Amino acid sequence: MAYSTKLSDIRIRSATNYWSNQVKTYANKIRRKNEEAKLLNDALKGINKKLNNSQYNKFQSAYNNENDKVKELKDTLNKSKSSHKKSSINEKLNNLMRKKSEYSSQMASLAKEQGFYRIHSRKVRKQANIKHINKLISDLKKQKAKAKNKYNYYRNTMLTRQRIRTQKKNSVVINQKIKDAKSNGASVLYRTDLMDDTVFNLYETSPTETDSNTVATHATDSNVAQTNYVSLDSRELSGTYILEADDLKSADQQFKKLMLWSRHYEFTIDGFAYWQHAYITSIAKSTDQTMNKNAMSIEISFSYAQQAQIQYAKLTAKRKAPAGKIRGSRNSNSSKRYMRIKPGWSYAVIARKTGTSITDLERINKWSATKVPSYANVRWQ
């Protein structure tokens, strides 16, 4: 969509509100026109009841049949690309239009002979009005769709900018909380999307990390199985964690927040294991108030899973490169990797793209999380 992305935040908000109002305006116009169309159709039904003449109804049925054929041929004509086929369709259309005209003339002549021409004329006018209003409704729907596309574009731009600002602000707070937790020997758990600055300080007890692999084997003449590849089926992390707070009530409130988040968000866990794509598969709590006045024991199981990007494409289309491929430059004389910073990016964006933690990015680069210059080459490996 070729709209400008260089507008200020004020202009983006203004454009979002403008196109939102345009969508509502078109929706109201469509609603009113639909009401008018309903009244016209009801009036047309009343007129048709008065035109209870078998010969007239026979002409009307034939006219409607030819009209349906015209609509089908017009649809076919719009989809056709061959000039020869278009010429053939146009010839058929002309014949159908002549037949429609003949049936229309026969209905008008019969109405004059039988003395109900005034009712017939009213019917013709109503039909013309209905056709006109249906065309207006169709045009309004197209205008509404265009306005909706522009509204979605500007709204998404506004939300994206808000999200980036929130992530940059929260990354500073989260980094400080991580440093404080590490100095106290605690592991940390926080949302990978950085849309909340909450950091859970957890003290791990006997954590266990398990990788399950599938070894694809095939038989050989020597009766010794061979394999071409090994694929990772699952990666699980589980353990008992002590959650400390000012008092037991505060610890329970933190547990409830973590339990609610476990159904919606991806986490980053930094401790016995470092995972940036951690999902909580089970969570439970227990405590002994006589011994723990400000701590709670939590059983948590994590599963490692990178979120996939679903691609929709025609079967004949060329396959695109995997969405998870990381782009960056590599120094030919070393294993270091760099990524060029775009305007508005932060370490949080690079962390999501590469899997490197924000703390490591700050350690191996000379810029802090809040002072990364645009177009700088940031090392991430």
Q: Tell me, yes or no, whether 168 lies in a domain.
A: no
**Domain interval for residue 281:** 191-304
Same domain, 354 and 293: no
Pair 293, 338 in one domain: no
3 lies in some domain: no
User: How far lies 324's CA from each of 124, 227, 307, 352, 358, in Å?
Assistant: 62, 26, 9, 11, 19
Strand partners of residue 304: 278
By the 10 Å C-beta count (0-12 exposed, 13-18 middle, 19+ buried), 17 is classed as: middle
Q: Are residues 334 and 300 in the same domain?
A: no
Q: What 3-state class would DSSP assign to 101?
A: helix
Quick check: is 81 in a domain?
A: yes
Question: What are the beta bridge partners of residue 277?
Answer: none
The predicted pLDDT at position 38 comes to 96
What is the reported pLDDT for 126? 94
Whether residue 146 is contained in a domain is answered as: yes
Asked if 370 and 168 count as a contact pair (C-beta separation under 8 A), the reply is yes
Same domain, 13 and 151: yes
CATH number of the domain at 362, please.
3.10.350
SS3 238: strand
Half-sphere exposure of 71 (CA within 13 A, CB side): 6
Tell me the C-alpha distance between 276 and 87, whole Å.
62
Distance between CA atoms of 127 and 181, rounded to whole angstroms? 76
What does the buried/exposed string (b/e) look like for 369-381 if buried means 16 or more CB atoms within 10 Å of the residue's CB?
beebeeeeebbbb
Q: Are both 102 and 16 inside the same structural domain?
A: yes
Count of domains forming the chain = 3
Q: Are residues 84 and 212 in the same domain?
A: no
Per-residue model confidence (pLDDT) at position 326 = 47
Cα–Cα distance measured from residue 335 to residue 98, given in angstroms and rounded to the nearest whole number: 78
Q: Considering only CA atoms, which of 39, 28, 25, 21 is closest in space to residue 133?
A: 39
pLDDT of residue 315: 47
- Backbone φ and ψ for 356, nearest 5 degrees, come out as -80, 140
- How many angstroms separate the Cα of 169 from the Cα of each of 86, 339, 376, 379, 380? 61, 21, 20, 22, 21
Q: Are residue 265 and residue 138 in the same domain, yes or no?
A: no
Could you tell me the pTM of the whole model?
0.61
63 near 100, Cβ under 8 Å? yes
For residues 333 and 300, membership in a common domain is answered with no
Among residues 108, 139, 159, which one ends one of the domains?
A: 159
Are 117 and 129 spatial neighbours (Cβ–Cβ below 8 Å)? no
Per-residue pLDDT of the chain (381 residues; tens, 9 = 90+): 445 567 899 999 999 999 999 999 999 999 999 999 999 999 999 998 888 889 998 998 898 898 889 888 888 888 888 888 888 988 999 999 999 999 999 999 999 999 999 999 999 999 999 999 999 999 999 999 999 999 999 999 999 999 999 999 999 999 999 999 989 889 999 999 999 999 999 998 888 999 888 877 777 767 777 777 777 778 899 999 998 888 888 988 999 999 999 999 999 999 888 998 999 999 998 876 555 678 888 999 999 987 665 554 444 445 554 444 444 554 444 556 788 877 667 777 787 788 787 778 878 888 776 667 777 788 877
Q: Within this chain, do residues 16 and 108 fall inside the same structural domain, yes or no? A: yes
Give the angle subtended at the CA of 175 by the CAs of 188 and 363, to the nearest 5°.
105
